[in-house]
Amino acid sequence: MVRQRSSPRRIPKERDDLLERAYVREMEALDGEPPTDVVGPPEYALLRELEPAVAQAAAVREALSAEDIETVRQAAPAVSLVLPGQVLARRCRTASETGDGRLPVRSAGDHVQVQDDALVSLTVGYAALQGSQVSVLPALWVAPDAAAAHLAVFDPATAPRLEPAWLAALLTTGGVTHGIDTEAVEAGAAGGLKAAGGYPVLARGQAPVDGVAGGVELTVSLVRRAGTVMEDGSIDLRERNAAVAIRAGEEVGCVVASRPGEPGYTVRGEELPAADCAAGALGIGSGVREELADDGSTRLVAEVDGVVAVADDKVSVNTVFAVSGDVDYQVGNIESGQDVQISGSVRPGFKVRAGGSVTIGGLVEAGAEVRAGGDVVAARGIVGENTKVVARGSVECRFVQNSTVVAGGNLLVGSFLYNGYVRVGGDVLVRSGGGERGGSIVGGQVFAGRRLEARRVGSGSTDRTVVGVRPKPELNAKIDRAREAVTYCETNALRILRTLGLEAPSARGIRQLLDRAAPGRRAQLTLLVRQLDELLKNKERAGEELQRATAEMDAVLGAARIVASEAVMPHVELRMGVYSRVMDDRLPRASLAWSVLGIVEIAPPPARGGAG
């Protein structure tokens, strides 16, 4: 009789655990090691000297993720470095080792590896615990735009000596591959941390160099300065640099060759593209000729005695129309395409028209008219009904009284503005020269494009004064044109839809309409559909333009200010955009701004004498 072999008995799991534990004890006894009560994955305990550092790991992370290196310095916690090969945690041999208050560690995290019975650091950094995993935060700060990489040693006074190989490996750990300063790496390793405050630059990226378009580079300065306001409010013309005089044969500039752009890179090797040619290079205008210099370069020299000017992206030397004395019956009206310099006044009823700037040593008198393609300076003032000054640039004068001033730039008044009608694209600034009236705007209507500033606005003894801020007329015109275009497109699109018998533009509805149409009618409908499509596209473009212009208008008005360092008087009318406000009471040290709610008061300006 053949006996059936019985299947093996299954050993209960509890006996499995007992057998495994007995096996472990036996093997460790053979090795001469004390038995362990730890079963399962290896468990480690953090070294006690690292516990203070681990407690501040969150502060370390925050410091190393700061936006700039100064914030890193200020946020630096008092934490010691760990070094490559340094033991962070040791394996526990008995259960008691994890029960004596030491922090348990189950595994190695970033920049940490298992080595024998310990967890050791792989880089220069700061110890941190995430759950039961120990890691090292590299002691490296990389700028958000990756323009530079700094070693970040929070406590350089107690920092140990760092090996150059460690710092090179630290850069590799942080992904830094370009712009590495080997001298800085050597210096940091050689104890240069204290000199650098613990944060030496180890690598620096390269900014791109934009290309240069060939053209003219000036060797004379054309930067115009505001005239000095004298004690009486008049304008000192001597230091304005408004007219840069040059004699025939003198150098104006040089011709530069075009140069292609050179791309840059970040410390992580990302390329930063460069523009091939920077815009804005000047061409050569009238009154200037090219000459070959001894060094082979090409220089520009003046052909005539005159004034250097830049217009329409060209540099020219313009002859100056100079008047020694007044513009009167001896001289007559002046019309010139160049700059005009008048040592005296423009007498009543006479006119001056210039393609450049106009400089007047005296007054613009009653009924006179001055128009300039550049700036206008009237050192003594602008006075009289029917007197008009119009400039594409800025206007400077001692005072404006009963006159009209229109300027694309700013209006600088040295003393007062009385009953004037003013509209400028930039700022209106009324300084405090010339006695009690200095710094005041009284009567008339005065509108700036950005900011209006005076000592006092209004008076109890005059008719209402109106002041305000209105953006440049070009911006209002742009908004009006865009609105008109949207309205036109909407009106005509609706007319075509009614003709087609459609309530709204629909590709499916149009296709069905064309499919049902008789052959003779289909051509006419197709033409209407094309017109409708063009109108809808134009409406979309006009709507986008309207949105951009409206946003620009809001930005201009949002920055607009009316400032009176002494007061805005009762009955003054303030206007900003579509809003208007009449002052019921005296408002001392006023500073007013535009908001969606109207004209509002904001923090007053610093106390000072007048507007300047």
Cβ proximity of 447 and 470 under 8 Å: yes
pLDDT recorded at residue 298:
80
Radius of gyration of the chain (CA): 40
For residue 501, give every residue at least 6 positions away whose Cβ sits within 8 Å of its Cβ, in sequence order, or none.
513
Query: pLDDT, tens digit, for every residue of 489-509?
Result: 999 999 988 888 888 888 888
pLDDT recorded at residue 440:
94
pLDDT recorded at residue 602:
79
Higher pLDDT, 188 or 143: 143
Token pair belonging to 22: 């007995």
Euclidean distance between CA atoms 437 and 400, whole angstroms:
12
Q: Highest mean pLDDT: which of 36-40, 207-211, 458-462?
A: 207-211
pLDDT recorded at residue 31:
41
Mean pLDDT of 428-446: 90
pLDDT recorded at residue 28:
43
The fraction of the chain above a pLDDT of 70, given in percent, is 83
Which of 137, 133, 98 has the alpha carbon at shortest distance from 119? 133
Higher pLDDT, 541 or 189: 541
The fraction of the chain above a pLDDT of 90, given in percent, is 41
Mean pLDDT of 536-562: 89
Query: pLDDT, tens digit, for every residue of 325-354?
Result: 999 998 889 988 888 999 999 999 999 999
Higher pLDDT, 189 or 238: 189
Token pair belonging to 4: 């059936």
Euclidean distance between CA atoms 31 and 11, whole angstroms:
28
pLDDT recorded at residue 29:
41
Token pair belonging to 319: 């002859």
Q: Is 174's pLDDT higher than 70? A: yes
Residue 301, strand partner residues: 251, 289
Q: Is 25's pLDDT higher than 60? A: no
Token pair belonging to 233: 């409010």
Euclidean distance between CA atoms 264 and 282, whole angstroms:
27
Domain ranges of the chain: 13-40, 43-207, 215-259+279-317, 348-471+560-601, 475-556
Average model confidence (pLDDT) across the chain: 82
pLDDT recorded at residue 23:
37
Query: For residue 327, what are the CA distances in angstroms to 110, 324, 335, 352, 370?
Result: 84, 9, 12, 8, 11
pLDDT recorded at residue 191:
57
When pLDDT is cut at 50, 70 and 90, the band that residue 173 belongs to is very high
Q: Is 393's pLDDT higher than 70? A: yes
pLDDT recorded at residue 542:
92
When pLDDT is cut at 50, 70 and 90, the band that residue 286 belongs to is confident
Q: What does the angle CA 383 – CA 387 – CA 391 come to, to the nearest 5 degrees?
A: 105
Cβ proximity of 565 and 611 under 8 Å: yes
Higher pLDDT, 325 or 228: 325
Q: Is 12's pLDDT higher than 70? A: no
Cβ proximity of 250 and 302 under 8 Å: yes
Q: Is 123's pLDDT higher than 50? A: yes
pLDDT recorded at residue 99:
47
Cβ proximity of 610 and 431 under 8 Å: yes
Cβ proximity of 136 and 112 under 8 Å: yes
Euclidean distance between CA atoms 263 and 63, whole angstroms:
31
pLDDT recorded at residue 141:
94
AA letter at 415: S
Rounded to two decimals, the pTM is 0.51
For the chain, the first-to-last Cα distance in angstroms comes to: 125
Q: Is 606's pLDDT higher than 90? A: no
> Is the sign of the CA dihedral 66, 68, 74, 79 positive or negative?
positive
Residue 137, strand partner residues: 126
Q: What share of the chain is helix, strand, coil (3-state, %, to 5)?
A: 25, 35, 40
3-state secondary structure of 552: helix
pLDDT recorded at residue 26:
39
pLDDT recorded at residue 577:
82
Euclidean distance between CA atoms 236 and 225, whole angstroms:
11
In three-state form (DSSP H/G/I as H, E/B as E, the rest C), the secondary structure along 312-344 is CCEEEEECCEEECCCECCCCCCEEECCCEEECC
pLDDT recorded at residue 138:
95
Q: Is 309's pLDDT higher than 80? A: no
Mean pLDDT of 442-471: 90
Query: pLDDT, tens digit, for every residue of 178-223?
Result: 999 988 888 766 555 665 677 889 999 999 988 777 667 777 776 6
